Amino acid sequence: MTQIQITDSHCHLDFPELSDELDEVLARAARAGVTRMVTICTRLCNEPAVRALAEAHAPVFYAAGTHPMSVADEPMATLDELLSLAKHPKFVGIGETGLDYHYTSESAEAQQESLRTHIAAARETGLPLIIHSRDADEDMARILREEHANGAYSCVMHCFSSGADLARAALDLGFYLSMSGIAAFPRSQELRDIFAAAPVDRILLETDAPYLAPPPHRGKRNEPAYTVHTGQKGAEVFGLDWAEFAAQTQANFDRLFAKAAAYQAAA
């Protein structure tokens, strides 16, 4: 019987919770059918280490940007800097970037400037923008629309847990929503309803590991192998069997992260 294959489209393999036992983490992912992972660099000063992870492990791709919660502490990313990083064959996305007014609202203006720079890089490279949005739905929808009017780009709303209005705004622009372990939490029915109203060809799976482990591992360290638990809940949400939903999310990832799909096909 062929194993069902899926992709963890967003994790943080360089964080010590995972990097300290990376070989075991990757082995468990492989056994679970997680054949690809995109590990996300959240501070550009760490990009060389994250790049090295992708270079060392065939299933691992990477993206880089300045996380909105780090904008106040990091040098502002420049367009040239992001364009240069994007030349690497395993660099497959821009970010994560975005807006976080929950913990870091005092840097809102700088976050917005950083976000627009990352959007420009996504537009110029053709790589998908990876968005983190928390407690900033109105500004996020406005900026995404304004920038899209200036020139199209592709985007995934990573770990989507915002409101229905932002989901609709993103979907209307042709963007994707990514399901994390939050979507599998028992009290997340409202969020599951938002996903259920979205086109199934616009859904990705992720862990955001080491955070947000889905049941039955909730409260413990997350890892890419656990993408399966979120995916199985997603299949329920869309009324599909697990194999069909997994295949759909694989096709969705290949379409959005076309550089990763092309690299894998050529390998």
Could you report the per-residue pLDDT of 195-248, keeping only the tens digit for each?
Answer: 999 999 999 999 999 999 999 999 999 999 999 999 999 999 999 999 999 999
pLDDT digits (tens, 9 = 90+) for 145-189: 999 999 999 999 999 999 999 999 999 999 999 999 999 999 999
One-character DSSP codes across 7-47: EEEEE-TTSHHHHTTHHHHHHHHHHTTEEEEEEEESSGGGH
What is the chain's percent helix, strand, coil content, to nearest 5?
Answer: 50, 15, 30
Q: Residue 217 and residue 212: Cα distance in Å, rounded?
A: 9
What b/e readout covers 63-90, taking b as 16+ CB neighbours within 10 angstroms? Answer: bbbbbbbbbeeeeebeeebbeebbeeeb
Q: For position 1, what pLDDT does the model report?
A: 59
Q: Between β-strands 34-41 and 6-11, what pairing exists: parallel, antiparallel or unpaired?
A: parallel
Q: For position 2, what pLDDT does the model report?
A: 77
DSSP state of 98: E
Q: Residue 53: is its pLDDT beyond 70?
A: yes
Half-sphere exposure in the Cβ direction for 118 (13 Å, CA): 33
Q: Residue 175 and residue 5: Cα distance in Å, rounded?
A: 23
Q: For position 61, what pLDDT does the model report?
A: 98
Q: Token pair for residue 46?
A: 């760490």
Q: For position 267, what pLDDT does the model report?
A: 80
Q: Where are the domains of the chain?
A: 6-266
Instruction: Name the average pLDDT for the chain.
Output: 97
Q: For position 63, what pLDDT does the model report?
A: 98
pLDDT digits (tens, 9 = 90+) for 102-154: 999 999 999 999 999 999 999 999 999 999 999 999 999 999 999 999 999 99
Helices then strands, counting H and E runs in the chain, come out as 11, 8
Residues annotated as binding site? 10, 12, 96, 132, 158, 208
Q: For position 64, what pLDDT does the model report?
A: 98
Q: Residue 3 and residue 124: Cα distance in Å, rounded?
A: 37
End-to-end alpha-carbon separation of the chain, Å? 24
Half-sphere exposure in the Cβ direction for 90 (13 Å, CA): 23
> Stretch 54-58: mean pLDDT, rounded?
98
Q: What is the CATH number of domain 6-266?
A: 3.20.20.140
pLDDT band at 93 (very low <50, low <70, confident <90, very high): very high
pLDDT top residue among 258 and 1: 258
Residues annotated as binding site for a divalent metal cation? 10, 12, 96, 132, 158, 208
Q: Residue 216 and residue 174: Cα distance in Å, rounded?
A: 33
Residue matched to tokens 């209307």:
172
